Amino acid sequence: MFEKLRSAIKSFTQAISERTLSEEEVEKILWNLEMELLESDVALEVAHELINRVKCEVIGKKLERGTSSTEYLKKYLMNTIFNILSQAKPPNLIDLIREKRAKGEPYVIIFLGINGTGKTTTIAKLAYILKEKGLTPILACADTYRAGAIEQLSEHAKRLSIKIITQRYGADPAAVARDAASYAKAHNIDVVLIDTAGRMQTSKNLMEEMRKIIRVVNPDLKLFIGDALAGNDMVSQAKEFQTFTNFDASILTKVDADVKGGAALSITYITGKPILYLGVGQAYSDLIPFNPEKFVKSLFE
Would you tell me which residues interact with ligand GDP (CB under 6 A)? 113, 115-121, 198, 253-254, 256-257, 279-282, 286
- Closer residue to ligand GDP, CB minimum distance, 119 or 260: 119
Q: How far apart are CB 225 and ligand GDP at their closest, in Å?
A: 6
CB of residue 204 to ligand GDP, shortest distance in Å: 20
Residue 280 · residue 256 · CB < 8 Å: yes
Residue with Cβ nearer ligand GDP (49 or 256): 256
Residue 193 main-chain phi, psi, to 5 deg: -110, 115
Q: In this structure, are residues 222 and 245 in contact, taking their beta carbons and an 8 Å threshold?
A: yes
Proportion of the chain in helix, strand, coil states, percent, rounded to 5: 55, 15, 30
Q: Which residue is nearest to ligand GDP (CB)?
A: 279
Q: How far is the CB of 155 from ligand GDP (least distance, A)?
A: 11
Closest approach of ligand GDP to the CB of residue 141, in Å = 11
Q: How far apart are CA 260 and CA 278, in angstroms?
A: 13
CB of 120 to ligand GDP, least distance (A): 3
Indicate the residue among 30 and 112 with the shorter CB distance to ligand GDP.
112
Residue 112's identity, in one-letter code, is L
Q: Decide whether 182 or 203 has the Cβ nearer to ligand GDP.
A: 203
- Give buried/exposed letters for 142-159 (b at 16+ CB in 10 A, else e): bbbbeeebbebbeebbee
Minimum CB separation of residue 264 from ligand GDP in Å reads: 13
CB of 247 closer than 8 Å to CB of 224? yes
Closer CB to ligand GDP, 222 or 254, in the complex: 254
Strands 221-227 vs 249-253: parallel, antiparallel or unpaired: parallel
For 222, half-sphere exposure in the C-beta direction (CA atoms, 13 angstrom radius) is 20
Q: Which is nearer to ligand GDP, 197 or 217 (CB)?
A: 197
* Distance from the first to the final alpha carbon of the chain: 54
CB 278, min distance to ligand GDP, A: 8
Q: How far is CA 31 from CA 93, 150, 236, in A?
A: 39, 49, 24
- The minimum distance between CB 243 and ligand GDP, in angstroms, equals 20
Query: Which of 58/93 has CB closer to ligand GDP?
Result: 93
Query: Which secondary-structure segment (H or E) carries 160?
Result: helix 149-160
Of 253 and 266, nearer to ligand GDP (C-beta) is: 253
Query: How remote is the C-alpha of 263 from its chain's centroid?
Result: 9
Helices (H), ranges, 246-282: 262-271
